[in-house]
Structure 1
Amino acid sequence: MTPIPRPALLLGLAGLIPFLWGALTVVLPGLAEWGTEVLGPRFVGPYVQLFYGAIILAFMSGVLWGFAAQGSGWQGYALSVLPALWAFFMTGGGADRAAAALIVGFLGLLALDRHYWKRGLAPQWWMRLRVLLTLVVVNALAVDLIF
């Protein structure tokens, strides 16, 4: 098995910070108050998670586009834009609805990751990284729905 390259792993883990921070500020009101004072209200609770989550889905569409560019044809390109379109159209309507939509979006993204990986368009280590990151993201977003 090819190991996950250190830069990809470290940057992927660092990309979890806004999701984890948002979940912590949902669960710990004192931390949310501190974060609101220091960072502003957009950077605590579900607000940071939802805004960042939509950005990450759009970013991942670009990653999938790169996989499609290796020769998967129209289908590969069309599938690659789905996460960005999902984020654009489905994340309105309040925090709970947006969090649920992002959870579905990230699970759908994982299925697309697997699609490209199975076709040899993503690196061998790709799914190990994506499963790890997706598990954390989905659980962090689920905090919004539980609390």
Structure 2
Amino acid sequence: MIGAPKAPLFLGLAGLIPFVWGALTYLSGDLNAWGAQNLGARFVGPYVQLFYGSVILSFMSGVLWGFATKTSGSKAGLCYTLSVLPALWAFFMTGGGPVQAGTNLIYGFAGLLILDALFTFWRLTPVWWMRLRVLLTAVVVASLAVGVYM
């Protein structure tokens, strides 16, 4: 589809489920009620998106850390420093209520995409990385936007 190996592509797409599910349960009262009753209240609407979004930003810090291992010297120090920013952003910026937290997660994922582009520019990522990251980030941001702007 986008040149990524099947495992990262399918796992990346599967990782979108909580974001899309959260948006759908935000938009549909019936689906929200079903999800809350059968899965629990924290697995619907903005709750699932905000918690999972924080987890994914932290996970992506680890991915960037892994890319940072491909360099050395002062560039390595810069890459390691940049790699922890998404996790720190998630930790410090996801409080203050669902709209503010959702907005900050949108900014966090946009910033992560910039870091992805920078690491790609430095040739630390696989050649297919940005195509996958753009697709995944677009769905994540659109899903989070449902809770923030609707």
Shorter-chain TM-score tier: over 0.9
- Aligned-residue identity in percent: 62
CA RMSD of the aligned region, Å? 0.9
Q: Indicate whether 1:49 and 2:45 are aligned.
A: no
Deviation at 1:15, TM superposition (A): 0.2
Please give the TM-score of this superposition, normalised by the length of structure 2. 0.96
Deviation at 1:3, TM superposition (A): 1.7
Deviation at 1:146, TM superposition (A): 2.1
The corresponding residue for 2:30 is 30
1:1-147 equivalences under 5 Å are 3-71=3-71, 72-147=75-150
Deviation at 1:33, TM superposition (A): 0.2
Other structure's SS at 2:126 match:
coil
Distance 1:35 1:3 in 2: 35
Distance 1:29 1:19 in 2: 17
Paired residue type of 1:66: G
Deviation at 1:39, TM superposition (A): 0.4
Instruction: Provide Cα deviations, 1:89-121, integer angstroms capped at 9, x if missing partner.
Output: 000000000000000000000000000011110
Runs of 4+ in 1 over 3 A off after TM superposition: none
> Gaps (5+ residues) in structure 2?
none
Deviation at 1:145, TM superposition (A): 1.3
> Gaps (5+ residues) in structure 1?
none
Instruction: Provide Cα deviations, 1:17-55, integer angstroms capped at 9, x if missing partner.
Output: 000000000000000000000000000000000000000
Please give the TM-score of this superposition, normalised by the length of structure 1. 0.98
